[in-house]
């Protein structure tokens, strides 16, 4: 017999079905709760709410497990590439040779922005944050492709998905060049996904950037590790917007905005700023740790803690090892890495962090790698957004393909003033 839950309200008992996921995660399904009881549930920050059923990514936060389509992140980090992972997330299986070839070709064919989009870049201030440009330009893309403006369409999904995945990298690189007053560099057909991004970021019209394999590999790994993470703030935002049947580019632009905040993707920039502050102030980290424990200080140990992981974030483990390896290969010594390691050691032996199960997350060491790759700090969250694009696209597709999908529309408990009446201006106190 399948498991059920019983709820007692005002002396009446209600039997609620229990939904069990493929990894034995259990959820009390409350779809009929309001109709049968008149009550809704209240869950601040959605910490206990499953907003959907999804086949894309599995996380076990207690054990520190992350899998894309069932494949452990460690295996993908070691053996796969970002383009292959993108295919896996979006289409549900690892591509065979011919599927991978066609997918890569589709990305290459769609990597150029519409030439008129260049004029949009002209309108931004040179002080504009690249995340602002990224979300605006992804949304502006809708204007250049007839068919994109209308409701989401299954027929055109493959081409739109490829266009978005290929162009996000072009837009990101153009945003960076624009913010530095540098001439725009176009993508090259001969280069693969990540190499092409580095080329568009760092080549000059008179000189091609020298692509070092270890640099390309390190950035590709960062993209792989960020590619999806189930119902995080930005992915939930993408699904929310997608549920209204908005087009893929509009949904992705909304995802970029949600990602920008320092509690989410913006944490990678905030971590480096924090480490730099500690370095500049000559603190050994202990003053900062004390401030992060003091709720009145308004400070947090950035890159630490996670809503789901109550154990070491598996992505942080992989990044930490990659970081050591890259810095050694490039023969770079970064004082911020030493500070980060000392902070981690101090936090992991401090009861405040231990008792709250606060461990380094993906953002703690990723910035150090990006610094070593010469990626400027204001581009860190943009890199996260490029990496997260396959996850957003896959979640969008899940909604598109679901004939039972409904518009997302949470309820609320109203706590405002009870009924009162309009007072004419002259009669107001």
Each residue 361-380 as x (binds ligand CMC by CB under 6 A) or -, in order, gives xxx-----------------
Question: Could you tell me the smallest distance in angstroms from the CB atom of residue 100 to ligand CMC?
Answer: 29
The interface region with ligand CMC, picked from 33-41, 76-84, 304-312, 317-325 by CB under 6 A, is 304-312
- Residue with smaller CB distance to ligand CMC, 277 or 328: 277
Active site residue 421: no
Q: Is 314 in the site for ligand CMC (CB under 6 A)?
A: no
CB 100 within 8 A of CB 80: no
Q: Is 387 in the site for ligand CMC (CB under 6 A)?
A: no
- Residue with smaller CB distance to ligand CMC, 141 or 235: 235
Contacts of 378 (CB under 8 A, 6+ apart): 129, 130, 179, 269
Question: Could you tell me the smallest distance in angstroms from the CB atom of residue 381 to ligand CMC?
Answer: 9
Between CA 115 and CA 131 the distance in angstroms is 21
The interface region with ligand CMC, picked from 13-21, 84-92, 175-183, 305-313 by CB under 6 A, is 305-313
Catalytic residue among 226, 306, 401, 421: 306
Active site residue 363: yes
Local structure of residue 427 (DSSP, 8 states): G
Q: Which of 267, 323, 373, 383 binds ligand CMC (CB under 6 A)?
A: 267
**CA separation (Å) from 141 to 167, 175, 241, 391?**
9, 14, 17, 20
Q: Is 303 in the site for ligand CMC (CB under 6 A)?
A: yes
- Name the token pair of 390: 């396959």
Catalytic residue among 220, 228, 313, 363: 363
- Residue with smaller CB distance to ligand CMC, 244 or 290: 290
CB 359 within 8 A of CB 309: yes
Question: Could you tell me the smallest distance in angstroms from the CB atom of residue 244 to ligand CMC?
Answer: 24
The interface region with ligand CMC, picked from 48-56, 93-101, 171-179, 257-265 by CB under 6 A, is 257-265
CB 46 within 8 A of CB 235: no
Q: Point out which residues pair with 72 in neighbouring strands.
A: 67
Q: Which of 161, 195, 246, 358 binds ligand CMC (CB under 6 A)?
A: 358
Query: 184-192: which pairs have CB atoms within 8 A and are 24 or more residues apart?
Result: 184/118, 184/121, 186/112, 187/111, 187/112, 189/108, 192/81, 192/83, 192/104, 192/216
Q: Is 302 in the site for ligand CMC (CB under 6 A)?
A: yes
Q: Is 82 in the site for ligand CMC (CB under 6 A)?
A: no
Q: DSSP letters of 265-306? A: TTHHHHHHHHHHHHHHHT--SHHHHHHHH-GGGT---TTB--
Q: DSSP letters of 47-96? A: TT------SSEEEETTTTEEEETTEEHHHHHHH--HHHHHHHHHHSS---
| Closest-CA residue to 164 (of 397, 358, 405, 326) | 397
CB 202 within 8 A of CB 172: no
Question: Could you tell me the smallest distance in angstroms from the CB atom of residue 258 to ligand CMC?
Answer: 10
Question: Could you tell me the smallest distance in angstroms from the CB atom of residue 253 to ligand CMC?
Answer: 18
Q: Is 256 in the site for ligand CMC (CB under 6 A)?
A: no
Sign, Cα dihedral of 319, 320, 324, 325: negative
Each residue 55-74 as x (binds ligand CMC by CB under 6 A) or -, in order, gives --------------------
Q: Could you list the residues that contact ligand CMC (CB under 6 A)?
A: 45, 232, 263-265, 267, 292, 300-307, 356, 358, 361-363
Residues labelled as active-site residues:
306, 363
């Amino acid at each position: 017999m399948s498991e059920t839950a019983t709820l007692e309200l005002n002396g009446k008992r209600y039997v609620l079905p229990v939904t069990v996921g493929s990894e034995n995660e259990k959820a009390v399904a409350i779809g009929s709760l309001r109709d049968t009881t008149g009550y809704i549930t209240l869950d601040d920050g959605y910490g206990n709410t499953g907003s959907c059923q999804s086949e894309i990514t599995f996380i076990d936060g207690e054990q520190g497990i992350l899998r894309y389509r069932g494949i452990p992140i460690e295996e993908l980090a070691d053996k796969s590439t970002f383009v292959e992972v993108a295919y896996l997330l979006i289409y549900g299986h690892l591509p065979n040779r011919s599927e991978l070839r066609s997918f890569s070709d589709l990305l290459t064919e769609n990597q150029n922005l519409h030439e008129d989009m260049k004029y949009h870049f002209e309108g931004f201030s040179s002080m504009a944050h690249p995340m602002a440009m990224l979300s605006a330009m992804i949304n502006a893309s809708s204007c250049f492709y007839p068919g994109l403006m209308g409701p989401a369409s299954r027929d055109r999904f493959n081409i739109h998905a490829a266009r978005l995945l290929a162009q996000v990298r072009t837009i990101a690189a153009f945003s960076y060049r624009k913010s530095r007053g540098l001439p725009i560099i176009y993508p090259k057909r001969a280069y693969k996904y990540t190499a092409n991004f580095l080329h568009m970021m760092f080549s000059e019209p008179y000189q091609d950037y020298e692509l070092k394999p270890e640099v390309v590999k390190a950035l590709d790994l960062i993209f792989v590790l960020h590619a999806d993470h189930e119902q995080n703030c930005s992915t939930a935002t993408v699904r929310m917007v997608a549920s209204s049947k908005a087009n893929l580019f509009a949904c992705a632009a909304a995802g970029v905005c949600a990602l920008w905040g320092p509690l989410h993707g913006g944490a990678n920039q905030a971590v480096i700023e924090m480490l730099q502050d500690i370095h500049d102030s000559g603190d050994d980290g202990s003053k900062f740790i004390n401030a992060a424990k003091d709720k009145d200080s308004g400070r947090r140990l950035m890159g630490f803690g996670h809503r789901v992981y109550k154990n070491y974030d598996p992505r942080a483990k992989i990044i930490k090892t990659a970081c050591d390896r890259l810095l050694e290969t490039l023969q770079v010594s970064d004082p911020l890495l030493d500070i980060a390691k000392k902070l981690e050691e101090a936090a992991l032996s401090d009861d405040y962090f231990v008792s709250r199960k606060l461990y380094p997350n993906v953002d703690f060491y990723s910035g150090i790698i990006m610094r070593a790759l010469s990626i400027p700090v204001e581009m860190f969250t943009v890199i996260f957004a490029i990496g997260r694009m396959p996850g957003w696209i896959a979640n969008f597709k899940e909604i598109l393909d679901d004939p039972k999908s409904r518009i997302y529309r949470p309820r609320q408990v109203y706590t405002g003033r009870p009924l009162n009446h309009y007072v004419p201006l002259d009669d107001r106190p």
